[in-house]
Amino acid sequence: MNDKARCHPSDVINNMKIHHEVKVSYDKAWRGREIASNSIRGTLEASYALLSAFSDAMIRNNLGTYTTEEADEEGRLKSYLMALAALIDAWNYHLPVILVDDATMKNKYLSTLISTCTINGDNQIVPLAFVVVDSKNDLSRTWLFRNFKIVFGENNELNLKKNHKSLLIDDSFHKCARAYTPLEFEYYMRQLDHLSPSIRCELEGVGRHRWARAFFRRKRYSVITTNISESMNSTLKEARELPVIGLLESIRSLVKKWFYEHRIK
């Protein structure tokens, strides 16, 4: 077993049978894999305990990097945000569009990784910030957006596409944005009025033509019909099996690789 290869209990069973002619039960193979994984990658508990030290090292070696965390009353991690300096700077040169999506981390604590991304002029994915939260709920997302504003500032032209089904207004908003006629648009807009009386004024301030299909005369492609955050989560599929520090280090290495490859092109 190595630090990068994926290893399943069935692999352990087959290897023991082929190389050692020993029959191993699934339970024993699973426990053996966990012991080997912990010896190579460290335990989940130790990774969370070292998170503050990891953040300090990250900030010292990547000037301008922003990290912040929040713990509960018992000192257990609730939320952690990491925005690398290069990504904070890149935000100034890309479209004012943010796409947000989440994916469950594959460990016993079932934490959630939330990715925020944008796109550049060449329609390439540019990650912005990554957040690890203990659970998917409105409080964790509010915490995310509050800290995102601290890091990246406010932008009056910012469009936010949120892939969070638990938000009460999400369904009505997307139906409103995708309505084909002004009549259908107004029907769902009234539903939004009931959920949040101030939302109509805020959305009207943005301009209907910017986000509602019924008031846009051309065909919409690109950002509104894609989900780049899901592409990012797919890229990090194997990394989500690692302890939290291993995950964050994989993200840092991936971003470094992308920026290097883009620079030499």
Q: Give 59-114 pLDDT, tens digit per residue.
A: 999 899 999 999 888 888 889 999 999 999 888 877 777 888 888 888 777 788 99
User: What average pLDDT does the structure give for the chain?
Assistant: 81
pTM across the whole model: 0.68
Q: What is the mean pLDDT of residues 158-170?
A: 51
Q: What is the mean pLDDT of residues 204-224?
A: 74
**Does the structure show a pLDDT above 70 at 206?**
yes
Q: Which pLDDT tens digit goes with each residue over 118-157?
A: 887 777 788 899 999 988 777 888 898 899 989 988 664 5
Q: What is the mean pLDDT of residues 212-235?
A: 71
What percent of the chain shows pLDDT beyond 70? 86
pLDDT tier at 5 (50, 70, 90 boundaries)?
Answer: low
Residue 42 burial (10 A CB sphere; 0-12, 13-18, 19+):
middle
Please list, in sequence order, all residues whose beta carbon lies within 8 angstroms of the beta carbon of residue 213, skipping any fewer than 6 positions away. Answer: 177, 178, 179, 180, 220
Query: What is the reported pLDDT for 118?
Result: 85
Return the SS3 of 265: coil
Query: What is the reported pLDDT for 227?
Result: 65
- Report the sign of the C-alpha dihedral through residues 236, 96, 144, 162, in that order: negative
